[in-house]
Amino acid sequence: MIASLLQERRSIRKYQQKPLPDDIVAMLQEVALRSPSSRGINPWEFVFITDKAQLAKLAVCKPHGASFLKDAALGIVVCADTRKSDVWIEDCAIAAALLHLAAHSTGLGSCWIQIRQRQYDDAITSEAYIRQTLLLPDYMAVEAILSVGYPDEIKSGHPVSTLEYGKIHLNSYRSA
């Protein structure tokens, strides 16, 4: 089942103007909270945003690659308490990947919006802009935002012929 989700899923940046049912949002929240983390520390936290005005504010968090968030039904800010774990980045990435697959399994589209190490402008990081917009404490780091909604574009999965099998190695990186 997970293999077929991976074969079909694509990043979606165009959304229908249709709200998500509460049960779908609740399912995504449960998926986030069930995400594995190193040593079971669970440093991640999630801000689920359905308010259109708030989504519009977040859609300008960086010059490129976030504007489509304003049209999504849901934004999920994936952040972490950096005091709890030295591998919070990995834990957040695992949770985000599972959220993408869960969204796709219900017919929704989603897209990763990179925040960590991105700039809002020359003086302010995207993370600082989001921290201020969402009133996050200083110890919370923002990894990414996921846009989620009903797709308003159709994308086929990547054909198996485009997969880079040369990046798969058996028993060692290269033969002796």
Which CATH number do you get for residue 125? 3.40.109.10
Whether 172 maps to a domain, the answer reads no
For 24, the domain range is: 2-167
* DSSP 8-state symbol, 161: G
46 domain residue, yes or no: yes
pLDDT of residue 1: 80
Residue 45 contacts residue 82 (beta carbons within 8 Å): no
* Total domains present in the chain: 1
**Which among 31, 63, 36, 68 is positioned nearest to 48, based on CA atoms?**
31
Most distant CA pair in the chain, distance: 59
Q: What is the pLDDT of residue 176?
A: 55
State the Cα–Cα distance between residues 93 and 43, nearest whole angstrom: 12
- Using alpha carbons, select from 100, 94, 71, 110 the residue that is nearest to residue 143: 94
Would you say residue 173 lies in a domain? no
Q: Give the pair of three-digit tokens for residue 89.
A: 């980045």
Q: H/E element holding 8?
A: helix 2-8
Residue 2 CB-density burial (10 A; 0-12 exposed, 13-18 middle, 19+ buried): exposed
How far is it, in rounded angstroms, from Cα 129 to Cα 147?
Answer: 17
Q: What is the pLDDT along the chain (176 residues), one digit of tens a residue?
A: 889 999 999 999 999 999 999 999 999 999 999 999 999 999 999 999 999 999 999 999 999 999 999 999 999 999 999 999 999 999 999 999 999 999 999 999 999 999 999 999 999 999 999 999 999 999 999 999 999 999 999 999 999 999 999 999 998 997 65
Residue 44 lies in a domain: yes
- First and final C-alpha spacing in the chain: 37
3-state SS class at 108 = coil
Tell me, yes or no, whether 67 lies in a domain. Answer: yes
Q: 91: phi > 0 → left, psi -120 to 50 → alpha, else beta; which? A: alpha
Contact assessment for residue 111 and residue 70, using Cβ atoms and an 8 Å cutoff: no
Within a domain: 174: no
Q: How far apart are CA 129 and CA 95, in angstroms?
A: 22
For residue 176, is it within any domain? no
139, part of any domain: yes
